[in-house]
Amino acid sequence: MSVVVEDETRLNTLICEGTVDEVVSLCSRVEVKGEVLEVLPGHDAKRRQLAGDLNGRAFG
């Protein structure tokens, strides 16, 4: 199940089921410190590290 929530500033946030790695692997762009960037193949190691860190904190 997935839900998009809009806050009072009209910012949309996606809340969805799935492990962090599964969800992030579907992304073609990411936002880092307010800047939207294309996901490049070289980002895979950092993505796996982030997924592992989040899954370790029960986010997966």
At 24 the pLDDT is 75
Consecutive 10-residue averages of pLDDT for the chain (60 residues)? 92 82 81 87 80 72
The answer to whether residue 4 sits within a structural domain is no
At 59 the pLDDT is 58
Retrieve residue 33's tokens: 């410190």
At 58 the pLDDT is 65
The answer to whether residue 6 sits within a structural domain is no
At 5 the pLDDT is 95
At 3 the pLDDT is 92
Number of structural domains (the chain) is 1
Domain range spanning residue 39? 18-60
The answer to whether residue 12 sits within a structural domain is no
At 29 the pLDDT is 87
Q: How far, CA to CA in Å, does 20 sit from each of 10, 44, 59?
A: 24, 13, 7
The answer to whether residue 13 sits within a structural domain is no
The answer to whether residue 24 sits within a structural domain is yes
